[in-house]
Amino acid sequence: GTALRLPSHKAQLAGPDRRIWDILAPAMAASAPRPVSARELADQTGHPLKQIEGVLQRAGRHGLVTRISKTRYATPDLLRHLAGVAETIATQRDGGLFSAADYRDASGIGRNVCIEVLEFFDQQRFTFRSGDGRKVLKSIDEAFGKSA
């Protein structure tokens, strides 16, 4: 069953999910540095929104993507990049506090998406919001795992 596995085994998407993921992955990479919405992916690929959402959900179980808000998703590489932006800004500020506007300017993503990313970081306890500022609490590796 699913209780035992070889140490070298990695779960992967298969069949139709794999074919759709092979289309979604480049579309997600092209949207960087902005996390992409399921609706945008559906519009770009021509696949129904429900199908895209299902594939993204299953891809998330395999660690291929992370849902950062109700509608937005990021690959592990993009997530680490966005976290790196926060770390860089924090090291350049007195006390390590940075604002959403600081993050928006440094990351190159729009205000609304920026807020979604920062709120996700707060939920993951990568950052902590204090008033209008945020502070990085732990390293990227601690928050999101070691990079592959």
pLDDT digits (tens, 9 = 90+) for 34-71: 999 999 999 999 999 999 999 999 999 888 999 999 99
Would you call 135 exposed, middle or buried from its count of C-beta atoms within 10 A (0-12, 13-18, 19+)? middle
At residue 22 the predicted structure's pLDDT band, cuts being 50, 70 and 90, is: very high
At residue 1 the predicted structure's pLDDT band, cuts being 50, 70 and 90, is: low
Give the per-residue pLDDT at 3: 66
pLDDT digits (tens, 9 = 90+) for 89-107: 999 998 899 999 999 999 9
For residues 54 and 38, the answer to whether their CB atoms sit within 8 Å is no
C-alpha dihedral sign at 58, 62, 67, 71 = negative
Q: What is the mean pLDDT of residues 113-127?
A: 96
Give the per-residue pLDDT at 13: 81
Q: Is it the case that residue 116 has pLDDT exceeding 90?
A: yes
Nearest CA among 24, 29, 147 for reference residue 84: 147
Amino acid at 95: G
Q: Mean pLDDT across the chain, nearest whole number?
A: 90
At residue 21 the predicted structure's pLDDT band, cuts being 50, 70 and 90, is: very high
Q: What is the mean pLDDT of residues 1-24?
A: 78
For residues 76 and 144, the answer to whether their CB atoms sit within 8 Å is yes
